Structure 1
Amino acid sequence: MSKTNAPSGLGSEYHPLDSPQLEEPHPFLARARREEPVFFSPALSSWVVTRHADISAVVADTARFSSAESITVGAATMPPEVVTVLMGGYPLVPSLVDNDPPAHTRFRSLVSKAFTGRRLTELEPFIRTRVDELLHSFRHEGRADLFLRFAHPLSSSIIAEILGIPRSDIHRFRRWSDDLSTVLAAHGPVEHQVACARGVVDFQRYLASALEERKTAPREDLLSDIVTGAQGMTPPMSMAELVSLLMQVHFAGHETTAGLIVGAVELLLHHPEQLRALRDDPGLIAGAVEEALRMTSPVHAMFRTALEAVELGGVSIPKGAHIRIVYASANRDEARFHEPERFDPRRPDVKKHLAFGQGLHFCIGAPLARLEARLALEALLRSLPGLRLVPGQKPGFLKNVTVRRHESLEVAWDV
């Protein structure tokens, strides 16, 4: 017998973009797994799924659960002033993450070769050089915001290198990335959302201009590959589709990886015995990256849409309903992981996490994220002796319905 699909008391308490759940989401999610693993959230107008088995089933069943609107579900609540501004740019059309086959396959084919093993091998010297440059710029100071001075500029410069974006423009891309996050979340004062919408339009125009330039003067970069590949498709992709694709690649390519690096360092600094183990045996760093992916889950959640009436965890969900699959909860599910709150780089089944999704929408940039995080941790542990957290800080977190990452993390070391 299925439960009623009426809004629950637990759902009325779910506010993932507000304190204290923004800073500490896991106590509530653990309670949900125990008491009501599938519930309706009025705040998100979505059903929320929290257990590993249910989430894995949803992700695997593309016939009944669509990825359309998987990152733009908040768009339905955009203030009209924001919609008016966005009309001055290109429409936010489905592309890679928020699409289903066969359209999804067309978009994925355009970017897949940028993340092959050969391309990553060619990119590794650049990543190592960039890591060393950033560390050299602040190593003598003895204290820094690891997100602002290291993780974010590292991931931003790497995705810029892949796309073919000049390093001088990276600071603009960071601002535009924040703007896009705010617009998709439809959260905060309307005036701020409107200002961010203007930034999104500027972002779109920049990318469109760069794509037009590559049509006549192609280079060795992803922008050129995308233009060439798109022109050979039947039918050819529109500029709106290409711009939306690039916005997703850029956002996913650096926000989540920056979050992973900072989250991994914070975990290690809270677990000094594991930090010592990694210093003694750098071969453990790859395992530490996987465990950090499981515990930090930079892609905190994603959305699906029920294509028919379904039942999840004994709960009836109507056709057309939005479903929030919380990867961060699945990755700490007691039914899937032994002692899930324990940080263990030697965990034998650590790769069973869902931090990169699963199946059709498994993250295309997963190998790059793993490589960046491993090289970053190796260099940080090698170059910053006595690395520690600055006491008394309260790091903020990005307000986004899909991505969760620090906005700052103050660390200190011996000089």
Structure 2
Amino acid sequence: MSKTHASPGLGPEYHPLASPQLEQPHPFLARARREEPVFFSPALGSWVVTRHADISAVVADAARFSSAESITVGSATMPPEVLSVLMGGYPLVPSLVDNDPPAHTRFRGLVSKAFTGRRLTESEPFIRSLIDELIHSFKNEGRTDLFLRFAHPLSSGIIAEILGIPRTDIHRFRRWSDDLSTVLAAHGSVEHQVACARGVVDFQRYLASALEERKTAPREDLFTDIVTGGQGMAPPMSMAELVSLLMQVHFAGHETTAGLIVGAVELLLTHPDQLQALRDDPSLIAGAVEEAVRMVSPVHAMFRTALEDVEIGGVPIPKGAHIRIVYASANRDEARFHEPDRFDVRRPDIKKHLAFGQGLHFCIGAPLARLEARLALESLLRSLPGLRLVPGQKPGFLRSVTVRRHESLEVAWDVPAP
């Protein structure tokens, strides 16, 4: 796809997976909203949409904008060596996030009961106990990497419990999750992408083996629910479809929530007035989580494909074009939010954010993410007196076309004398 404008515009300057935009995406996105809200990115081979109103219109119009390839930059960008390795596993078929009705409805129905209000209520004691266990493991140290020691093991432990993954295997899933991010982003050297593709195939084989086991030895877990429900459909779901679904549920279920928790802590520790407001009035915790979701936007962006010639924000987009909808930009749009770069746990217009998507693809795990983040913040602030950021650190960020989260965040606190 080539850009037809006479001027190249902002497109050649857009490099979301490279510094400095990887670490600081918002200055460029704010400029885009002012100067060229819809532009073509040669690096991604996609049109990029940055304004709240335009993004909301796109995600609400499933008839003209398909969710196919919504989590990739397009299979055409994958090196043939990577595609060759992936052929040794199961096809990366559309399932939940990257699908359209009516197929999307079948997949959503398979996992929806795992995230009902009743299931969340049943899960809360486990979540609280895991939070306490993790904090206890480093509480007397006075300093830790909050992502590696708390946020990631918490979110991955919870989704592992829901799926039915043994906790002893969680470390493997973290590596496989990073491999999947690299393959979907088509980022890095070909050698690195090939190594990550091998990890994705290992991931698929693990999931397929677990599903086969549940066929003869069912348990009270999502693996069992999915394989039983999938077999009962007409036509029955293939193993490739079930594996792709589980890969998406696992990735979305922990990467984004870990990013939200770490991002929320960073926001609170860099805004002492808001932290004090939360300490003075703990009932503000739900608002703090919601504002953190808006500011952090763990699902940084998604993709859509134009099913016909369309216009977005007055810009003509050809049929078949790949479109990157940047939720993180929508959530900082000056036309939608008052002082959008200000972190405010009492923000009155907070419900306008798109951090969990909208419409058909509204995040099925949003209630779980909110619950995890609320319980995590409550316990961290209660258990770690004087919690603060370690000065001078430069935390890295995951290189992903859809998810943005810290790779580390060093924090310190006061340890009482023995």
Does TM-score exceed 0.5, indicating one fold? yes
Corresponding residue of 2:53: 53
Residues 150-161 of structure 1 aligned to structure 2 (within 5 Å): 150-161=150-161
Where 1:124 maps in the other structure, the secondary structure is helix
CA contact (8 A) 1:5 1:315 kept: no
**Aligned-pair identity (%):** 90
Corresponding residue of 2:194: 194
Letter of the structure 2 residue corresponding to residue 247 of structure 1 = M
Corresponding residue of 1:142: 142
CA contact (8 A) 1:7 1:39 kept: no
CA distance in 1, matches of 2:388, 2:186: 36
Letter of the structure 2 residue corresponding to residue 115 of structure 1 = F
CA distance in 2, matches of 1:203, 1:314: 43
CA displacement at 1:14 relative to structure 2: 0.2
CA distance in 2, matches of 1:8, 1:228: 52
| Runs of at least 5 residues in structure 1 that lack an aligned partner in the other structure | none
Corresponding residue of 1:360: 360
| Runs of at least 5 residues in structure 2 that lack an aligned partner in the other structure | none
Q: Deviating runs (4+, > 3 A) in structure 1?
A: 3-7
Letter of the structure 2 residue corresponding to residue 300 of structure 1 = H
Corresponding residue of 2:72: 72
Spell out, residue by residue over 1:12-56, the C-alpha distance to the aligned partner (whole angstroms, 9 max, x if none).
Answer: 100000000000000000000000000000000000000000000
Residue 215 of structure 1 pairs with residue 215 of structure 2 = yes
CA displacement at 1:72 relative to structure 2: 2.3
CA distance in 1, matches of 2:7, 2:206: 43
Residues 63-212 of structure 1 aligned to structure 2 (within 5 Å): 63-212=63-212
CA distance in 2, matches of 1:6, 1:174: 45
CA contact (8 A) 2:9 2:36 kept: no
CA displacement at 1:6 relative to structure 2: 5.4
Residue 276 of structure 1 pairs with residue 276 of structure 2 = yes
Residue 370 of structure 1 pairs with residue 370 of structure 2 = yes
CA contact (8 A) 1:134 1:149 kept: yes
CA contact (8 A) 1:37 1:50 kept: yes
CA distance in 2, matches of 1:146, 1:369: 17
Corresponding residue of 1:381: 381
CA contact (8 A) 1:4 1:316 kept: no
CA distance in 2, matches of 1:132, 1:351: 31
TM-score (norm 2): 0.98
Corresponding residue of 2:328: 328
TM-score (norm 1): 0.98
Letter of the structure 2 residue corresponding to residue 71 of structure 1 = I
Where 1:323 maps in the other structure, the secondary structure is strand
Where 2:10 maps in the other structure, the secondary structure is helix
Residues 286-365 of structure 1 aligned to structure 2 (within 5 Å): 286-365=286-365
CA distance in 1, matches of 2:157, 2:94: 26
CA distance in 2, matches of 1:196, 1:142: 35
- Pick closer, same or farther for the CA change 1:203–1:7 going to 2, 3 Å: farther
Spell out, residue by residue over 1:169-201, the C-alpha distance to the aligned partner (whole angstroms, 9 max, x if none).
Answer: 000000000000001001001111111111000
Where 1:411 maps in the other structure, the secondary structure is strand
CA displacement at 1:314 relative to structure 2: 1.2
Where 1:141 maps in the other structure, the secondary structure is coil
Letter of the structure 1 residue corresponding to residue 371 of structure 2 = L
Letter of the structure 1 residue corresponding to residue 285 of structure 2 = I
Residues 219-238 of structure 1 aligned to structure 2 (within 5 Å): 219-238=219-238
